[in-house]
Amino acid sequence: MMLFYYNCIFLYIPNNFKYILLNNNKGYFLCYFNLKKFIKAPINSSIFIKNNLLIIYYRDTDFIIKYFKKFFFFFFFNWNTFIVKKIKFKHKMIWIIIKRKIIKNIVLNFIKSHKVKYYLNNIRVIRKKKHLSFHTLVIWGLNYQHMYGILNNIRQQQYITIYTYRGVKFSRQLIYKKQGKVSRYTMLKSKIF
């Protein structure tokens, strides 16, 4: 948990994480790690540690703005494990906007007069041509409520109807790939990440 007051930032590190402060020519680096994760963030200011409470003192006001833009969500979304969800779009009216090989926006138009655009902040989308169809996306994130809140809003735009079979649905199956000419499927574990 991170809080900030006048000229200082209070960063609480959980008990299941261990932290190390490294001093370099460029400044201090905070490294906190667990059995599953290793996270490193720069700290260009004076620091004080007491009972897993890291207090960062800064002098200029621009430091707090730059620090929060880069590392607030980086700290906040790294306490949990990965959550993966597969979503299918059974309609042709969908646009996927790709910037720098990362899908950031999804634009929907399900027989409506206006387009609906979703901004995916702190959520990554994977779409591979070999294993997934064009209208299938694999979305993964680190926060359960944030990711499922966006996915439920996307699904509420148009549920799958019985007659036309168009809409959005969540896939219950895992990610699969074909093995040769045999029509058997084996599960992909962590190769796509």
Summarised one tens digit per residue, pLDDT across range 94-118 is 555 555 445 556 666 555 556 666 6
**Non-local CB neighbours of 115 within 8 Å, separated by 6+ positions:** 107, 108, 109
CATH code (residue 146): 3.90.930.12
The pLDDT value recorded for residue 46 is 62
Which stretches in the chain have pLDDT values below 70?
1-17, 26, 34-84, 89-137, 140-146, 157-193
Judge if 15 and 35 occupy the same domain.
Answer: yes
Cβ neighbours of residue 96 under 8 Å, at least 6 residues apart? 103, 105, 106, 107, 127, 137
Range of the domain at 28: 2-76
Task: Give the per-residue pLDDT at 127.
Answer: 57
Query: Do 61 and 38 have their domain in common?
Result: yes
Q: pTM to 2 decimals?
A: 0.37
